[in-house]
Structure formats: structure tokens, C-alpha cells
Amino acid sequence: MWFWFSIIALLCWSGSDLFSKIGCRNQHDKTAHLKMVMAVGIVMGLHAFYEVVFNGVEINLSIILTYLPVSLLYILSMTIGYIGLRYIELSISSPICNSSGALVALITICTRGISGMHPLQIVAIFLVAAGIIMLGITEANEDEELRAERQKAGNYRYAKSVLALLLPIIYCILDAAGTFADSIVLETLNEDSANVAYELTFFTVAVFVFIYLIIIRKEKLTLEAEVPKYIGACFETVGQFFYIYALADTNHVALSAPIISSYCAASVLWSRIFLKEKLSRKHYLCLLIVFIGIVIMGVFDA
């Protein structure tokens, strides 16, 4: 079943990208990213309660506090990512955000050296870094008229700016830091308990966001605007569930990891089909280089 679990995780996480983009892209809604955080926190909280009540996963304050730094890094990175979706195409944002695996490898090299690393992993890190740098250059130098023309079909115009490209890069850095910290903390914690601790922390953040938005700011929620956010949140949670089970089959990790890690390619496809996003050939070349690096990293993520 590892193959189908991997495909489901790929589809769910790319689906989460798509619906999160739909839920956050309204540039007139200054708190859309917070509403997305609230949606994810509520859905994850419900899943955490299910795990504790029906599956008997152990959880206590000590576990939550031990995992808290990792949880906060992940939550902050996702919040930054949701802000970024207001300013840049999903086609560009998703591959950059998904480059965090290469950054984790780079951090590992800096802290532990390159011993035990396959030469192709070093190549993959270089490809991802080169692709992102080339993407930044392409974005900065694209003609404004050509940009406006290719963005017509999507009915959203994204102006080139440092902020637009910087936000997914910040997500990548924070997510990589969380992943690296995760690998250390999980040496002392059960994985199921750690995941529930993360989900409960996210739920707590969602409660504070609810108090801020609904009670203090008295903002109104509309069904049309919020449904995509909760669909994206469900996809995110279900994807995480199948990701764990796909990688649990240790005999096929070398196959399942690259399948799952390629979900950003599906995100680019969905953005082209459903959001009508259209990039230049230079954009797609840069993204292809990043994608190749990510897949290579996935192959050696065993």
C-alpha cells in the first residue's frame, strides 16, 4: 500500500497548496493569512483529539513543551507562507517552499560535515540553490508588459517585488530549521505524541487567532471565503496522515519519498489548470531545475 499512500499524500498536499492559495489570494482581505492559520489549527485540533481519544496516543504538558520550539517554527513558517500566497503565483511559491529539504541538508553539512552524504545529494543542493537564484533574477528582470499579459487569464496581477519572492524563502528557512530541530527532538519523543503535540499547539494558536479576529476585531466570516481555507486545511491534515504511513514502509522509502516530494510539481499543474497562472519559459526552466534537485533529495531521504 506504500505506493497508494504516497500518491494520496502527494495529491492531498498539492490540493492543500491549491485551496490555501484560493483562500489567501484576496489582496483586499488583510487578515486572510490569519484566517487560514485558524482553519488549519481547528482541523488539526480535531484530528489530535481523535488520536488521543480513539487511538490512545500519549500526550501531556511535558511532551507539548518539549516539542514546542519545533511546533512554533512550523506554525510560523506556514503563517509566512500564507502571507506570501497573496503576493506571488502558487507556481513559483510552492517549489521554493518545498526546497526546505535541500536547506536541511545544507544545515547538516555545516554542522556535521559531508561524511556519509552521497555526491548526488551535494549536486541536488546546488541545483535547488541555483534554481532559486535564477528564479529571483528572472522575476527581477521580467518585462512588466509581458508579466501583465501572461497574468490576464488568472485575473490576478502580481507586481514584481523583493517581498513577493522573500516570503516563500523565509518559509523555506523556517521550515528547514523546524525539520532540523525535529530530527533532534524526536530522538527523545514518540512520533505520534510529537505530532499530536504539534497539532494541539496549532489548535491553541487558532483559538488565540479566533479571539483576536472575531471577538476583538469583530470581523465577519463568509462561507464563500472560508470554505477553500477549510478544504485546504483538511487536505493538509490528511496528507500528513498518509505521509507518515507511506514512510512507515521502510523497505520502500527510497521510492515513496521522491513521489511525495514531487507534490510541488502537481501544485504547479493545478495552478496552471485551475488558477490560470502562466509563467514564462525562463520561469519554468528555473522551476524544473529546482524540481530535479528536490526529487534527487527525495530519493536519498531514506
Domain range summary for the chain, segments of one domain joined by +: 2-299
Nearest to 253, CA basis, from 194, 299, 186, 205: 299
Q: What is the pLDDT of residues 145-169, one digit of tens each?
A: 777 777 776 667 676 677 888 999 9
Query: Can you give the pTM of this predicted structure?
Result: 0.85
Residues recorded for the chain: 302
- The contacts of residue 54 (CB under 8 Å, 6+ apart) are none
Q: What is the pLDDT of residues 6-22, one digit of tens each?
A: 899 999 999 999 999 99
- Residues 102-106: what's their mean pLDDT? 75
Confidence label for 116 from pLDDT (cuts 50, 70 and 90): low
Q: What is the pLDDT of residues 289-301, one digit of tens each?
A: 988 888 887 777 5
